């Protein structure tokens, strides 16, 4: 039996998680022990899966895959966004998924956890870190990127349903995409769309993977990340150092 299956709602989430879990000794930054069971180690490439129907699919059918893997994995993390088109309240999402996993996939409650990202995964990657500029292939320094984002506003392209940059103008109610005095942008998902388009930097999953493989998680206060961290600490406790006289 393998130690852990991570079931993610989309490739961006999977890329972010793989970037982090592929670090050497990633468990030390989480304060847990190695993710392994009877000598079998967690493999991020194989053991992080994506639901083909994304967030709605995770909500309506988390059980088909989990039922098939019930005897292959000891634990499972199910990770999805809180906000998506037609999403019910957060508490309903969690309770309904928990019910389906228990009654349709036959997993005992202590063996799985539902992680609801509030408001969305993109909030995790936005740090004022030089690796962010590099991952987006921004043609300038990290300081120049922050100044650029403080001077741009987001506008939704209704035809393509994607966000694009326009010059910020408070008088026209076009607020900066990421004001210099704010720790996080107000619309992290829209900012990813706009900056990816501006820099022509390729799929978001690759960007997320590159950023999460380098940025620090020390001091992260995101509730979903803390729940993930605490769950892994519970399932895979940190090993005590051997006592020496």
Residue for token pair 């928990």: 98
**5 contacts 76 by C-beta, under 8 angstroms:** yes
The topology under which CATH files domain 2-123+210-235 is: Rossmann fold (3.40.50)
Burial class (CB in 10 A: 0-12, 13-18, 19+), 140: exposed
Q: Where are the domains of the chain?
A: 2-123+210-235, 138-200
Interval 139-176: pLDDT, tens: 999 999 999 999 999 999 877 789 999 999 988 889 99
Whole-angstrom distance, CA of residue 130 vs CA of residue 159: 33
Per-residue burial over 210-222, b = 16 or more CB atoms within 10 Å of its CB, e = otherwise: bbbbbbeeeeeee
| Per-residue confidence in pLDDT tens, the chain, 245 aa | 999 999 999 999 999 999 999 988 889 989 999 999 999 999 999 999 999 999 999 999 999 999 999 999 999 999 999 988 899 999 999 999 999 999 999 999 999 999 999 877 788 788 888 889 999 999 999 999 999 999 999 999 877 789 999 999 988 889 999 999 998 899 998 999 999 999 999 888 899 999 888 877 776 778 888 999 999 999 999 876 444 44
| Helical H segments across the chain, by residue range | 11-21, 26-30, 44-47, 54-60, 63-68, 90-103, 122-125, 130-135, 142-150, 188-199, 204-212, 223-235
Residue 68 has φ and ψ, to the nearest 5°, of: -65, -25
Burial class (CB in 10 A: 0-12, 13-18, 19+), 179: middle
């Amino acid at each position: 039996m393998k130690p852990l299956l991570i079931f993610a709602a989309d490739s961006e989430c999977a890329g972010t998680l793989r970037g982090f879990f592929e670090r050497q000794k990633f468990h030390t930054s989480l304060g847990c022990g190695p993710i392994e069971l009877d000598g079998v180690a967690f493999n991020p490439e194989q053991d992080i899966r994506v639901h083909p129907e994304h967030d709605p699919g995770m909500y309506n059918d988390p059980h088909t895959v989990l039922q098939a893997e019930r005897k292959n994995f000891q634990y499972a993390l199910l990770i999805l966004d809180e906000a998506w088109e037609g999403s019910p309240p957060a508490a309903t999402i969690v309770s309904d998924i928990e019910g389906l996993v228990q009654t349709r996939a036959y997993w005992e409650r202590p063996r799985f956890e539902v992680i609801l990202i509030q408001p969305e995964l993109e909030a995790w990657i936005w740090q004022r870190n030089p690796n962010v500029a590099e991952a987006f292939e921004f043609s300038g320094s990290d300081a120049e990127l922050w100044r650029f984002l403080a001077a741009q506003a987001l506008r939704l392209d209704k035809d393509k349903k994607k966000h694009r940059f326009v010059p910020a103008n408070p008088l026209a109610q076009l607020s900066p995409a990421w004001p210099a005095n704010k720790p996080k942008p107000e619309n992290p998902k829209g900012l990813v769309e706009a900056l990816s388009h501006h820099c022509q930097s390729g799929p978001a999953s690759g960007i997320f993977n590159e950023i999460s493989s380098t940025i620090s998680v020390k001091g992260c206060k995101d509730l979903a990340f803390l729940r993930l961290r605490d769950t892994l600490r519970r399932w895979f406790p940190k090993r005590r150092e051997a006592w020496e006289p």
